[in-house]
Structure 1
């Protein structure tokens, strides 16, 4: 508990001093030219951890989460509204475990999403929270899964549906910023055996937690 209080105090201290430091950095330059306002494009490279929920389908207790690099491209309609194309630059790898924690195999997925976002506050604020909602698809591949009494290939249909995003950007200067975000995907892909649907949906509904560095221009 003491370590949590110390960490919280450190974060609050950093949050208190960061705006002042950022304002001083701007005061040393011409504010009419050194500004994030009016820039229409941004790119963010980072890494995210994707974790599906437990007990997604009968006989499966857990899809282990995994990390992957991510890339985001945004077009800012104005300083507050943006359209973002986000996706995994490589595949998330999941180990699949049964109800007794036995290993059932592995599967990979690679999501991509298009979202509308609203960024709060002024473009040059140190901290800029944002929210977003959109549509995503996630393709499953390299399924290497086993089940009792099943000899045919077990796979998952492409997941598709709504995605929600919450996050915060921290401006380093008028061009560079750091980003932390969390995303929720409504994922209910159908389980297939031998290429045919079974009528059973895997209720994966994963969350991602990501961190990255971005640039706007």
Structure 2
């Protein structure tokens, strides 16, 4: 279902772009708010812990809202509108279980160039938290195995392609420094997972 949603959003972006491009009566400069909806793929790194091999990535819809202090500096609230679902595999390729997560981040961003430039790259840095849930991992000594909330730094690089002063297409990549602790029976185990995922996204936005 998420893959179908991703394809639908990408198709809608391509189809809608020519219609949006007809509005050329104002300027992007001075507009202070922007919202973006899209789809992103979150891919944790492999070898996250002892006995763990690959962790499958997953797509999910995302939303963001930004407030621009001026044409170049912005503060963005970004998050997943649904959960990313991951299959966890052993270092031999066998399935260990599944887990879901849903990140939320607050970042400061710098957008290069003039507001009406067709291609505007940007960079950002901030803080995020990602809540893990629905852990379906084999119990240890009969006790539930879970994953604590991941917290830490997030870095962003991306580019906006201006269609007109209101509408734009966004492509971005986000790196999350994720070292959540494993829990056993609700208690910390002292063992951290080194997930450090990349989140690559595509979306369409509007500024006003």
Fold similarity call, TM over 0.5 = yes
CA shift at 1:150, angstroms?
3.8
Match of 1:124 among 101, 116, 120: 116
1:158-194 superposed Cα distances (whole Å, 9 cap, x missing partner):
0000000000000000000000000000000001111
- Match of 1:53? 45
How many residue pairs end up in the alignment?
A: 189
* Residue 142 to residue 169, structure 1, CA distance change in 2 (3 Å): same
In 1, distance between residues paired with 2:70 and 2:56?
A: 39
- Match of 1:162? 153
Q: TM-score, normalised by structure 1?
A: 0.84
CA shift at 1:29, angstroms?
5.3
Q: TM-score, normalised by structure 2?
A: 0.88
- Match of 1:182? 173
In 1, distance between residues paired with 2:156 and 2:101?
A: 19
| SS of match in other structure, 2:142 | coil
Specify every segment of 5 or more residues in structure 1 that has no aligned partner in the other structure, as ranges: 1-24
- Match of 1:141? 133
Give the ranges of 4+ consecutive aligned residues of structure 1 lying more than 2 Å apart after TM superposition. none
- Structure number with larger C-alpha Rg: 1
Specify every segment of 5 or more residues in structure 2 that has no aligned partner in the other structure, as ranges: 1-20
In 1, distance between residues paired with 2:120 and 2:161?
A: 6
CA shift at 1:146, angstroms?
1.6
In 1, distance between residues paired with 2:123 and 2:168?
A: 17
